[in-house]
Amino acid sequence: MFFKKSEKFKVYKFYIIDDDQNKIDRPKLMDFILLFFENNLQIPLDFDIGGPYGIRKGSSCGIQALRNKLEKHGHDKYYALSGVTENVVGFELLFNAVYNEHAYSELIIWYNPKDYDLTFEKVIRDLICSCVISYAYELEIEAGYNISTETKIKKGILGGLSVKVSYEHLAWLDDYENGGYRDIFKNNFMNRAQLAKMQEINQSLKVKEIKGKYLVEMGA
């Protein structure tokens, strides 16, 4: 996803890691995502499905066509699904990706804070009812950066745009079982091992337990 110049976006990234992926109920998760956008943001205008669902590369479909395709073909064949209203709201959903020794699924929800106002805690409490969240964090993505890789979008000599394929933002997965995490963000959601490691670095964290994991806010 590319953003208009001078815009900043709130981005929530959620990871479902290794065995936690076995607990994903795809239809239930998709129902949650669409209902969440309907109730809190807006239903995206354009959707894309990664898989054999009859959407040509570079094309998209509307919400009713998406529902029809999922009803006809089911939820088992797609590896990715996304929805976007350009520069306003969007989501990206990726299943069964692999980084070195770990498998993971990723959900990214983003929105323009000029148009909407949400809290990380609300999104966590809503989402945790539909799937297990292994790890999550909130950040801002500035104009000129790719939402997925968190890397800068570069302009080519001929005027085109390119994104460096980088997996540095996933390096924490290598140490996840021992408490590895991406960074200390304003808002984080993590397990006890991650919290213990984070507290070794920063003692001014605000911590709230939610269903066996921890909502961690950077203190002042």
Q: Which residues pair with 162 in a beta bridge?
A: 154
Tell me, yes or no, whether 158 lies in a domain.
Answer: yes
Residue 220 lies in a domain: no
By the 10 Å C-beta count (0-12 exposed, 13-18 middle, 19+ buried), 127 is classed as buried
**Residue 217 is assigned to a structural domain of this protein:** no
* pLDDT for the residue numbered 6: 65
User: And the tokens for 189?
Assistant: 């959601």
Mean pLDDT over all residues of the chain? 90
120 within a domain of the structure (yes/no): yes
Q: Assess whether pLDDT exceeds 60 at residue 77.
A: yes
Give the Å distances, CA to CA, from 61 to 45, 66, 75.
8, 6, 16
Within a domain: 178: yes
- Cα–chain center distance at 161: 23
Segments forming the whole domain that contains residue 155:
8-182
Q: Distance (Å, rounded) from C-alpha 127 to C-alpha 217?
A: 18
Overall pTM > 0.75: yes
Q: How far apart are CA 97 and CA 41, in angstroms?
A: 27
Better pLDDT: 34 or 164: 34
Number of domains in the chain: 1
Supply 216's token pair: 């961690």
Residues 160-193: tens digit of each pLDDT:
444 455 688 999 999 999 999 999 999 999 999 9
Q: What is the pLDDT of residue 3?
A: 46
Q: pLDDT tier at 23 (50, 70, 90 boundaries)? A: very high
Please tell me the predicted confidence (pLDDT) of residue 2.
Answer: 47
Res. 216: pLDDT tops 90: yes
Task: Give, as one character, the DSSP assignment of residue 168.
Answer: G
